[in-house]
Amino acid sequence: MLLLLLGIISLHVAALVLLFVSTIVSVWTTSETTTSDLWINCTLTNGGYQCEPASTGVWIQAVQALMILSIIFSFLSLFLFFCQLFTLQKGGRFFLTGTFQILASLFVMSGAIIYTVMSSGWIQKTDSFGFSYILAWVAFPLALISGLIYVILRKRE
């Protein structure tokens, strides 16, 4: 029982950490000389790295918002899990926790999809996607599975 609890919590925390790293470190596209992120674009020039804020386009801001929202919802879901753990009656399901976690995973999915589709407009063909982009895509199924587990789980004494 305790093992199950620990496993669920560690899955949730893993998804949350992936979301954090993906949003903050944010190496979404890389090439030999540039890294382009959600927040800044850096170019390697003769004088070192030269960074400027990311373009003020509508879509990149939407991706920023969706990543931040997914982090917020995942946090709320973790908090609600601990609340419901102590207040739910026996046999009850963690619907609220599961809902928030599933919503978080949907936000990450939307953010990653929007970035994939619109990225042709702001990166060149020679750039490849960086590890933060991959982390975002990995965080999506982790969060989804975690949310589904919460929905299925029943509280036992």
Contact footprint for other proteins (CB under 8 A): 53-54, 56, 58, 61-62, 64-66, 68-69, 72
Cα–Cα dist 21/84, whole Å: 27
Give whichever of 10 and 55 is closer to other proteins, judged by the CB atom: 55
Q: Is the dihedral of CA 27, 39, 77, 117 positive or negative?
A: negative
Give whichever of 69 and 151 is closer to other proteins, judged by the CB atom: 69
What are the structure tokens assigned to 139, written together?
């965080």
- Tell me how far, at minimum, the Cβ of 103 lies from other proteins, in Å: 9
- Tell me how far, at minimum, the Cβ of 68 lies from other proteins, in Å: 6
Give whichever of 72 and 138 is closer to other proteins, judged by the CB atom: 72
φ, ψ dihedrals at 49, nearest 5°: -75, 130
Nearest in space to 136 (alpha carbons), one of 31, 23, 14: 23
- Tell me how far, at minimum, the Cβ of 64 lies from other proteins, in Å: 5
- Tell me how far, at minimum, the Cβ of 122 lies from other proteins, in Å: 14
Cα–Cα dist 121/100, whole Å: 32
Give whichever of 11 and 122 is closer to other proteins, judged by the CB atom: 122
